[in-house]
């Protein structure tokens, strides 16, 4: 076709005459009502049957209405007639994908970005479909080009290049300097949000994306980022409408669907999550990471055989996907074959293996060798995985000790007495705190088997409130945090308590009057919990420091728990925790109920009676049959708590005792005097 028809596809052109006005109206309708847009396009075609703009709008409207095949009836001939019109080939590519013609879709999308290399949407959509077609390298290249296209302003190119090279400090400086003079540049706002997200400054990333979307509501890439950031902050109820809005435009976009499945899983809707993943994988089966995510959801839903099959499917597609191997190991019930171990060793021998995959392989091979009773070789691999993780995610034991000391200084009996009339008065929350791998999942499963208690997940709401008390940063400057807590007025405390109850409600699926928050790290925030939820129950799950710490050392956590990747750090953290809890026992006597793991597994019924007495609840026999409870469990102990209690694991750490010297030295009397609490007066 000639230049005149190509120009008529330019949506920025000024409408001239009744036909052009009708087309402009149809374009506006396309965003909010594709059926009306199609009707308007047909009206134009009644007058001008060959009009390419009207045909493109009609095809787009048919696709957005869920009729991809009918859309292709319009778009395929239009594409042949207009081989140089990028918008036509972009729409054609999406319609082909939604009709199940993925390879043809990729070809059309490649043509679109060849014709218009500066199209951010073209590169973004191409990346999603390359990923779905089993070409992760091509998808990554397209995403790189997407960032460059989104920042085609020459003033942003240096920031974009820094972002692509993961030079986050340079990208941050360049973007902030640019936004100081151009505060409404939405591409720069989205890029700065990407920097904040990579630095785990999620609150700041959320605020930047909200600003971006207020300026450009149809900036779909920013909305996708926004939904992801909300979900990462455990705000799935807020994230879901955002991704649904995207899916209203592109109902079969694999990136949007995968995000929706992750959000549903975060809401505890594992059935819904599995259904979405299943639909995505039926249409786009060449996605090893999505098979792995499907495996996670199946595992939590107690469909272990299917979970194992999904992980195996991921491994078949990508032999270097270390997380899939670790996911099998983390089930704690799978024994690796000799072929599996050889494959892991071969992967670790590769010089091009990504660090994240290498970490997962080290932990998985460590578990395989542990199962073979090759304890020394197993310890070598656990140590390598931990060392690499710690280099990537530094941790300061000294900073944690300073935090505990500030807690002891501030949280006195007089401090709490002066603030005894604040907080939300609900008795619903039951907090289980301590260290990971201390038996908290077992306690949770016992309590969640009671008819009046609902189990949820490890809720991040208390740490989130702590972060927001001192402002935007993700790390908590100690002085500002304690000053903010001390400044809380009764209305503030009540408001924060009510906010906690409201934000955790999304995880409640029953009408039970009590619910469990099993975030172990909340032990650091007992002072805050006391102020905002003075009637909540607090249970301290405690286990022998050697068993607890080494179990954490050999566990690769999905996120957080940075203190677990070094034996000396673990020892100092455990000692700090014991010291802090001893202080709380002194200033709030009887406030916290302690459960020793070793006592629980050897004297289960007596300990369950004590536990329920503390919670003010009658004994129920079903609490002793917790392993029959079919509720989803997401933690590393998910499979263990689905079996009756066994005592063999309490001393398993002794197989590794020859190599635990740094842990024992850091713990000192906390190890030798367990379960008695040593005198911390001289620390």
pLDDT in tens, 376-408: 999 999 999 999 999 988 899 999 999 999 999
Share of the chain above pLDDT 90, in %: 59
Q: How far apart are CA 228 and CA 246, in angstroms?
A: 12
Give, as one character, the DSSP assignment of residue 648: G
Of 135, 150, 165, the position where a domain reaches its end is 150
Domain extent for 117: 3-150
Within a domain: 18: yes
Boundary-marking domain end, from 117, 150, 183: 150
Residue 642 lies in a domain: yes
The stretches of 393-477 forming alpha helices (DSSP H) are 397-410, 413-418, 440-448, 461-469
31-41, pLDDT tens digit by residue? 788 889 888 88
CA distance 643 to 640: 6
Number of domains, the chain: 2
Give the residue carrying structure tokens 């995610």. 393
135 within some domain: yes
pLDDT of residue 11: 35
Contact between 519 and 458 under an 8 Å Cβ cutoff? The reply is yes
- Tell whether 366 is covered by a domain: no
Q: Residue 643 is encoded by which pair of tokens?
A: 């079996």
pLDDT for res 91: 93
Q: What is the mean pLDDT of residues 226-247?
A: 92
Report yes or no on 245 lying in a domain.
no
Using the predicted structure, report yes or no on whether residue 478 has a pLDDT greater than 70.
Answer: no
Q: Is residue 21 part of a domain?
A: yes
Assign residue 28 the CATH number of its domain: 1.25.40.10
Using 50, 70 and 90 to split pLDDT, how confident is the model at 647? Answer: low
Three-state SS at 298 = helix
| Last residue within a domain, chosen from 150, 178, 198 | 150
> What is the domain-level CATH number for residue 528?
3.40.50.300
DSSP track, 97-148: HHTT-HHHHHHHHHHHHHH-TT-HHHHHHHHHHHHHTT-HHHHHHHHHHHHH
Distance CA 173, CA 170 (A): 5
Q: State how far the alpha carbon of 522 is from the alpha carbons of 32, 125, 436, 560, 612, in Å.
A: 44, 41, 11, 13, 21
| Mean pLDDT for all residues in the chain | 88
Confidence of residue 476 (pLDDT cuts 50, 70, 90): low
- Alpha helical stretches, state H, 349-396: 355-371, 375-392
Residue 591 makes CB contacts below 8 A (sequence gap 6+) with 530, 538, 584, 585
Domain presence at residue 404: yes
Q: Is 629 within a domain?
A: yes
Q: What is the mean pLDDT of residues 265-278?
A: 91
Q: Is the pLDDT of residue 12 over 60?
A: no
Closest alpha carbon to 235 in 460, 458, 455, 519? 460
């Amino acid at each position: 076709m000639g230049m005149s028809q190509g120009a008529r596809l330019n949506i920025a052109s000024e409408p001239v005459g009744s036909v052009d006005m009708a087309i402009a109206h149809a374009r506006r309708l396309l965003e909010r009502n594709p059926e009306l847009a199609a009707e308007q396009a047909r009206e134009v075609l009644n007058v001008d049957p060959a009009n390419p703009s009207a045909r493109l709008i009609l095809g787009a409207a048919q696709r957005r209405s869920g009729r991809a095949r009918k859309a292709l009836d319009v778009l395929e001939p239009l594409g042949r007639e207009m081989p140089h019109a990028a918008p036509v080939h972009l729409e054609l590519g999406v319609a082909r994908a939604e009709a199940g013609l993925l390879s043809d879709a990729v070809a059309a999308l490649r043509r679109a970005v060849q014709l218009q290399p500066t199209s951010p949407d073209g590169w973004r959509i191409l990346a999603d479909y390359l990923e779905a077609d089993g070409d992760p390298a091509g998808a990554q290249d397209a995403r790189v080009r997407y960032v460059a296209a989104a920042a085609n302003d020459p003033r942003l190119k240096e920031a974009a290049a820094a972002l692509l090279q993961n030079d986050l400090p340079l990208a941050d400086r360049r973007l902030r300097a640019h936004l100081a003079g151009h505060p409404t540049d939405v591409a720069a706002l989205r890029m700065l949000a990407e920097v904040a997200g990579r630095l785990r400054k999620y609150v700041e990333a959320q605020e930047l994306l909200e600003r971006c979307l207020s300026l450009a509501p149809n900036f779909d890439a920013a909305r996708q980022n926004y939904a992801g950031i909300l979900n990462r902050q455990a705000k799935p109820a807020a994230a879901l409408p955002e991704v649904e809005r995207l899916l209203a435009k592109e109902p079969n976009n694999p990136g949007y669907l995968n995000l929706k499945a992750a959000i549903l899983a975060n809401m505890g809707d594992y059935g819904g999550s599995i259904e979405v993943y299943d639909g995505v994988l039926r249409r786009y089966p060449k996605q090893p990471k999505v098979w792995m995510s499907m495996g996670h959801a199946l595992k939590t839903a107690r469909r272990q055989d299917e979970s194992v099959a999904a992980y195996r499917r991921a491994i078949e597609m990508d032999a270097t996907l270390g997380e899939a191997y670790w996911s099998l190991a983390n089930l704690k019930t799978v024994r690796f074959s000799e072929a599996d171990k050889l494959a892991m060793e071969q992967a670790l021998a590769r010089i091009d293996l990504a660090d994240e995959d290498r970490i997962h392989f080290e932990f998985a091979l460590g578990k395989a060798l542990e199962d073979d009773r090759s304890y020394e070789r197993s310890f070598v691999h656990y140590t390598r995985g931990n060392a690499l993780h710690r280099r990537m995610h530094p941790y300061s034991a000294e900073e944690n000790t300073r935090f505990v000391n500030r807690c002891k200084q501030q949280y006195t009996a007089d401090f709490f007495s002066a603030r005894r009339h604040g907080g939300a008065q609900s008795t619903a929350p039951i907090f289980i705190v301590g260290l990971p791998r201390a038996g908290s999942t077992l306690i949770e499963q016992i309590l969640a088997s009671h008819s009046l208690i609902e189990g949820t997940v490890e809720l991040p709401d208390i740490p989130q409130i702590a972060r927001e008390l001192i402002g935007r940063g993700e790390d908590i400057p100690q002085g500002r945090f304690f000053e903010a807590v001390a400044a809380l007025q009764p209305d503030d405390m009540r408001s924060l308590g009510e906010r906690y109850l409201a934000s955790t409600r999304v995880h409640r699926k029953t009408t039970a009057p009590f619910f469990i928050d099993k975030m172990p790290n909340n032990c650091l925030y007992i002072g805050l919990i006391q102020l905002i939820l003075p009637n909540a129950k607090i249970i301290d799950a405690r286990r022998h420091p050697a068993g607890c710490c080494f179990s954490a050392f050999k566990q690769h956590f999905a996120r957080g728990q940075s203190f677990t990747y070094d034996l000396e750090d673990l020892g100092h953290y455990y000692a700090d925790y014991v010291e802090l809890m001893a202080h709380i026992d002194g200033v709030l006597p009887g406030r916290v109920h302690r459960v020793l793991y070793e006592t629980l597994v050897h004297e289960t019924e007596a300990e369950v009676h004590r536990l329920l007495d503390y919670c003010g609840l009658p004994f129920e026999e079903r609490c002793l049959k917790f392993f029959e409870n079919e509720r989803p469990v997401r933690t590393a102990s998910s499979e263990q708590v689905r079996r009756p209690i066994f005592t063999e694991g309490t001393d398993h750490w002794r197989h590794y005792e020859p190599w635990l010297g740094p842990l024992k030295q850091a713990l000192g009397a906390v190890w030798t005097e367990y379960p008695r609490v040593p005198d911390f007066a001289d620390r």
